[in-house]
Amino acid sequence: MRILGIETSCDETAAAVVEDGQRLLSNVIASSVDLHAAYGGVVPEIAARSHLESILPVINEALSQAKTNWDDIDAIAVTQGPGLIGSLLIGVLTARTLAITKNKPLYAVNHVKAHVYATFITKGMADYHFPAHPPDFPLLALIVSGGHSSLVLFESHSRYKLLGQTADDAVGEAFDKVAKMLGLPYPGGPAIAQAAKKGDSTSVKLPIAQMSGYDFSFSGLKTAVLRAAQALAGKDYTFASSGLPEALTSAQKADLAASFQATALKTLVDRLEKACRQYQPASVAIVGGVAANSELRRLAEAALPSVIYPDVKLCTDNAAMIAAAAFFGRSTNTPVDPYGLSVEPGLSL
Ligand code: KG4
Ligand code: ZN
């Protein structure tokens, strides 16, 4: 069964064709990230306009790369939420129109849950590093992205339990905000990871939030980085963060980036390890944009040798995970009415 996935929840316009939820036939992503870089974060209006321009060329490219025409597409899957309302609307309205005009079943997919399905894609395109085999249940998944930090235990495709989530900022959001503070480009994750390579991760002492159960909190860590940066620059707490990029040396920025990254990642790996001990899952996966971080992979592998991740290109937002999620969700998620599907910007797990 070939599913065309469509994803437009944030700043990536993406389409992909996946066969039987596991074979990647194409994965096309047009990002508007460069247009947002000047603002230090995603501007919803710019993202929505950019989706509108890119969506049809991206879908056509996904079909062409997969050497597939509409006759060979069995269904369409689209991100219904969570995400930016204007961005979601472009994907959902396009998917609805195509489902009607091409007469295909339409599946609505939860973006956060879909990140986990990137690990079910285990074969296909040549330049990807796929997991050796798909995860087994029970599956413990750490979903870490710009919008979410959640620890979820999947008993099956349809039964899962949210063990913990962030009380404030998502971990990717903390990477983005700390990067902005240090004058590093958006998105902050890759920029912090790069800067951290030249820094000493033990040089700045930062707190790990003590939360109950498996919850996370990253906003205190972000403020602690701000205070440490002000102190390193010889300023007090009233000094504006916008002045820090000028006031700090490259070495100080590298030390702050390395110390922040080490603390944020230790928080994630400690929670994951604790949940593993309690629930003894058959598989453990780390997914979402932050799962692209090589230091996170190194720390996680040291603690949990069998941990699996999607290819880096399937960690950040993509439509292949949307197609895979729709395929494996078919037993409980039946096709939706293409005339009635609405977007759900605040959709939860
Ligand atoms: O999954 P994703 O593309 O979008 C959301 O669903 O939010 O995740 C984007 C987030 C951004 O916050 C970005 O800074 C972070 O993932 N990210 C990283 C890395 N690459 C992307 N964070 C840490 N290290 C990275 N290498
Ligand atoms: Zn995402």
Return the CATH number at 293: 3.30.420.40
pLDDT of residue 34: 82
Both 156 and 300 in one domain: the answer is: yes
pLDDT of residue 346: 95
Residues of the domain holding 275: 139-308
Both 178 and 254 in one domain: the answer is: yes
pLDDT of residue 310: 97
Structurally, how many domains does the chain consist of? 2
For the CA atoms of 71, 77, 78, 82, what is the dihedral angle to 10 degrees?
-170
Give ∠ CA 252-178-265 in degrees, rounded to 5: 95
Both 124 and 17 in one domain: the answer is: yes
Q: Would 50 be classed as within a structural domain?
A: yes
Q: Would 335 be classed as within a structural domain?
A: no
pLDDT of residue 26: 98
Q: 317 C-alpha vs ligand 2 centroid, how far in Å? A: 5
Cα gap 63→17, rounded to integer Å: 7
187 lines ligand 1 (CB under 6 A): yes
Both 301 and 315 in one domain: the answer is: no
Residues that place a CB less than 5 A from ion ligand 2? 145, 317
DSSP secondary structure string, 1-35?
A: -EEEEEE-SSSEEEEEEEETTTEEEEEEEEE-HHH
Both 209 and 91 in one domain: the answer is: no
- Atom 18 in ligand 1: residue holding the nearest Cα: 189
Ligand 1, atom nearest to 288 Cα: 1
146 lines ligand 1 (CB under 6 A): yes
Ligand 1, atom nearest to 175 Cα: 14
pLDDT of residue 267: 95
Q: 312 C-alpha vs ligand 1 centroid, how far in Å? A: 10
pLDDT of residue 167: 94
Q: Would 273 be classed as within a structural domain?
A: yes
Prediction pTM value? 0.96
Both 297 and 189 in one domain: the answer is: yes
- Taking the chain (349 residues) in runs of 10, the rounded mean pLDDT of each run is 97 97 98 81 89 97 98 98 97 98 98 98 97 97 95 97 96 96 94 98 94 93 97 97 97 98 97 96 98 97 95 97 97 94 95
pLDDT of residue 331: 86
Q: Would 342 be classed as within a structural domain?
A: no
pLDDT of residue 337: 98
Q: 324 C-alpha vs ligand 2 centroid, how far in Å? A: 14
pLDDT of residue 40: 74
Both 96 and 149 in one domain: the answer is: no
